[in-house]
Amino acid sequence: RLWQPYIKLEFPNAPAAMTVQQLRIRIYTVSDTVRQLRNRIAHHEPIFDLDLIAVYETIEEIIGYRCLDTLAWMRRAETVTNFLLVDP
């Protein structure tokens, strides 16, 4: 109930056709993916079998839903994709 009237205000760049429930599910799914990745890294578990580019793109998606300026800043500042896109 808390998110119902405010989620579209807090994520103004989310697709207009996306319902509040769909947006909540998408945000939760991406947040859970990031949490799982963070936990694997924190516990020194391998992450090489994960599609890290896909994870990064979903992070970009949600940040873009919230703020396009922050998304642009992140794209300028991040360096991880340089390592992910290198051919072995």
Q: What distance in Å separates the CA atoms of residue 4 and residue 60, rounded to the nearest whole number?
A: 23
DSSP state of 3: S
Terminal C-alpha separation, the chain: 48
pLDDT digits (tens, 9 = 90+) for 21-57: 999 999 999 999 999 999 999 999 999 899 999 999 9
Q: What distance in Å separates the CA atoms of residue 28 and residue 68, rounded to the nearest whole number?
A: 20
pTM over 0.85: no
pLDDT for res 62: 96
Nearest of 69, 57, 16 to residue 33 by alpha carbon:
57
Q: Is the pLDDT of residue 88 over 60?
A: no
Q: Is the pLDDT of residue 86 over 80?
A: no
